[in-house]
Amino acid sequence: MAFCIPSATSVAANREETQVEHTLLAVDLAKDVFEVAVSRQAGSVDASHRLKRERLVGFFMEQPAATVVMEACGSAHHWARRLTQIGHRVKLLPPGLVRPYRRGNKTDRADAKALLEAFRNQDIREVPVKTVAQQAVGVVHRLRSTWLEARTARLNTVRGLLREHGLFIPPGAERVVPQVRSWIAADDVALAAPVRAMLASACDEILDLERRIAEAGRQLEAIAAQTPGVRLWITIPGIGLLCSTALFAFVGDPGRFRSARHFASYLGLTPRERSSGNRRRLGRISKRGDAYVRHLLIHGARAVLGAARRARQCDRLRTWALDLAARTHFNHATCALANKIARIAWAVSRQQREFVAI
């Protein structure tokens, strides 16, 4: 019988592979000071390091390849990409599911230890690391939402101030600026000179915000034209430019979920359950997951249901939604239709073909 003596290279490779498998590095992310916990045995912390941001990458370059665990919070995707380039395997965990594992006081060291404990729970699914392209689309969406909120706040402020002077603007955001400017130019309107100047500045600010919002829309249109998955989602009723690009930015590939129901549950569109014994109680939707994507899906479903009421002929999807709305509340039917639209988006992503209404 011949015996094979392993070479030094194979022994080192096996040792490195074993170290990658069993060595965990938990990083509690922050703006300036990071806490790193090193665990080589389950349930124990072998070493702790407190590092400045400038020292973090250099520290991990000095470490052998290992599994790095972080919360999927601010800057997590950036650091995940950087550490993956170095050679580490990065796992991102949902912050809300890591929090229950923290014991005692809220400290950076306790947060890092909680990450190690949460990583051992296989029921906690990791968060995929976003690409630079996904984060770029997310930036456009976040800034557009911020500008929309600021525009609405300015419009409401102008309306409220003018009501104090006995001037009332009819409903409609598009009527505010023309009406205010006509009052500023009129000599027979009782407005003091400082008020006219401030109202003119507010109108300029509103128009500037509208220009920025329109520019964000053009950016999203260019992104949608270049992204195949986004073009497929736009073919689904209730999913337009905003919803399709938001799915790309904040979800990625819905096909990574095991089923369409898992995807709808991830978005918080399935009922919250409180069951015990033989009694099964289903309540309102859970509202888990990304609130912005769920908000777009529900508004898209509301638009589809409203248009179906006015249409003379509907396909199977709209007919089902109308029948449901006739039996229950309109908002219940809207959420159910949003759930159905999310499931269709999962199927379209999995099969890589356009939606065809029947």
pLDDT, tens only, 255-278: 889 999 999 999 999 999 888 888
Cα(138)–Cα(247) distance, integer angstroms: 10
Cα(109)–Cα(281) distance, integer angstroms: 40
- Position 18 confidence tier, pLDDT thresholds 50, 70, 90: very low
pTM reported for the whole predicted model? 0.86
pLDDT, tens only, 161-218: 999 999 999 999 999 999 999 999 998 888 899 999 999 999 999 999 999 999 999 9
What is the architecture, at CATH level 2, of domain 17-119? 2-Layer Sandwich (3.30)
pLDDT at 16: 44
The residue type found at 247 is L
**Top-confidence range, 122-126, 242-246, 350-354:** 242-246
**Top-confidence range, 158-162, 307-311, 313-317:** 158-162
258-265, long-range: CB < 8 A, 24+ apart: 259/346, 260/342, 260/343, 260/344, 260/346, 260/347, 261/343, 263/342, 263/343, 263/345, 263/346, 264/339, 264/342, 264/343, 264/346
Give me the mean pLDDT over the 114-126 stretch. Answer: 92
pLDDT at 209: 97
Helix 176-185 vs helix 193-226: crossing angle, to nearest 10 = 150
